[in-house]
A and B are shown apart, each in its own frame.
Chain A
Amino acid sequence: MKTARSRHLVSGAMIGLTYLAAILATLPLLLILTHLLRKGASSLSLAFFTHMPRPVGEPGGGMANAIVGTLVLIGIASVIGLPIGIGAGLYLAEKKSTPLASSVRFLSDVLNGLPSIVIGIFAWQFLVRPIGHFSALAGGVALGSMMIPLVTRTTEEMLLVVPTSLREAALALGYPRWRTSISIVLRTALAGIVTGALVAVARIAGETAPLLFTAFGNQFWSTSLREPIAALPLQIFNYAISPYDEWHRQAWAGALVLITIVLIISIAARFATRSRFGAPVD
């Protein structure tokens, strides 16, 4: 028989282990952040945001084109991914158990698990090849395709949290089904859906693989959807594998900017959840 003393010992040890695990779970992020700050902050200046890349050997210059390019790509991806994802999520939540809903749910999970490079190949095959050259559009489509399953599933989950009683209350008031879905159910889940959308944006903002042979990257200023466009992850990749110290420093600064953008979006997502999330009635 175990004594109280030994039980306390085991209990203490297990609590200690879970504490350790909790700290280790956040350690990678902390290490990355401090490392990036140490390496990148020194190369960060106003010029980094406003200037174009300089040729090798010339000091200074920035990644203005890549920062804007990333924003353009996020924009295209959102225009494609959000409406389709939210629409599909609404369908899944409304028609929970139809055969189509089950297959959509399964396939969107498969798409979610697809390696991002495969999505890049898909966009290359269907957009780059027929058009004949790399383009921002192809990159945006690739990123948008990655967003769709993320947004679909979070939208569905958020809508399912809305209690059935609210839906019934609206129907009993004489709301048509479509109005119930949009003005009551979707509206109540809106904050959660916004959060899901922001998380999806944060997720794709740093993707590199789908852009390698779609957006391709561009050393020059371009915001045209039909031309290759620069993107932060691509620029970081190209600079990081180059043999030049100056470019390495720029790559660190770029990584810092990219992670800051992602952090800002993630923090915005948290605030969107907090502000008047449609608390369930029960």
Chain B
Amino acid sequence: MLQSTEVSREKPPRLVTPMVQVRAPEPSASAEETKPCIVASHLSAFFGDTAAVKDVSISIPQKAVTAVIGPSGCGKSTLLRCFNRMHETVPRTRIEGSVEILGSSIYEEGTSPIAVRRHVGMVFQRPTPFPTMSIRSNVAAGLRVDSKSHAARGTTSEIVEEALQRAGLWAEVKDRLDESAMALSGGQQQRLCIARALATRPRVILLDEPTASLDPLSTQKVEELVYDLRKTVTVVIVTHNMQQAARVSDRTAFLLMGELIEFASTSELFTAPRDPRTESYITGRFG
């Protein structure tokens, strides 16, 4: 793991489409971290006429892990899916308000959702390796549709190795890259999906309950990985598990019935919540 983060630091994420402006390269870590990465203003997301996310304004910091917690059906996943325009892939949905990522408005007219998704990776609740592809092809899947970033960063096998290193899976799979991805265990499949998302060098990674279907040991591995990722990317993680939010995140947002109740540093939110509803939730009184 150590080695892999060094590799990534040598090659800072390079952007290929003008969608996201590159800021001054590698300023001091603290200054960089305080800059917002995702800024949502008055964001509402609808399924038909029902609002799943209601008027959420939030400013998510760069190169940090932000956890989104809340009871089932509170709109956590929907909020996350607004950040890479996956919400609109479901029929009869729409959003109101705006989302900016690193200064570019992703819902602006003329911005293609495909370009947004290439910069904002996503990992789902259940592992989703492509069943017909080998481990190698799975990791390279995102590169195949984005040949520009591909050419700029060396050969496919270098990128595949680097992504698997970063996902902490390299040692386990390096001798069987051409085997089917379905042969891996659930936890390995999930880390493969993280590697697949990392291979295209996104600036943001969205994790939608990434450990919900994993055993405790795999969960621990994924959590360690998330903790390490903050050095290079902005991570937003939706989780049901408050301990997990406390373990991996720098800041935590609490959502209830589609509304953002509280957004604060994780230690503050869990030790001194300002809103009584947050307090009832984290002390287990509902949800």
Contacts and interface: CB of A to CB of B under 8 A. Distances in A.
B145 A166 contact: no
B126 interface: yes
Contact of A174 (B117, B128, B129, B193): B117
Nearest to A167: B89
A281 B180 contact: no
Contacts of A165: 124, 126, 128
A172 B210 CA distance: 15
Interface stretch (A59-67, A107-115, A183-191): A183-191
B122 A172 contact: yes
B75 interface: no
B108 to A, nearest CB: 18
B200 to A, nearest CB: 7
Given A281-B127, A282-B126, A172 B132 contact: no
B131 interface: yes
A171 B89 CA distance: 9
A125 B117 CA distance: 53
A190 B132 CA distance: 9
A278 B129 CA distance: 11
Interface in B66-102: 84, 86, 89, 91
B128 A166 contact: yes
B117 A281 contact: no
A280 B197 CA distance: 20
B15 interface: no
14 contacts: A165-B126, A165-B128, A166-B130, A171-B89, A171-B117, A172-B124, A174-B146, A175-B114, A176-B145, A187-B130, A280-B131, A281-B126, A281-B127, A281-B129
Interface of B: 84, 86, 89, 91, 114-115, 117-118, 121-122, 124, 126-132, 141-142, 145-146, 180, 182, 193, 196-197, 200
Interface of A: 97, 163, 165-166, 168-176, 179, 184, 187-188, 190, 276, 278-282
Given A165-B124, A169-B130, 13 more contacts: A165-B126, A165-B128, A169-B193, A171-B86, A172-B84, A172-B86, A173-B117, A173-B197, A173-B200, A175-B114, A188-B131, A276-B132, A281-B127
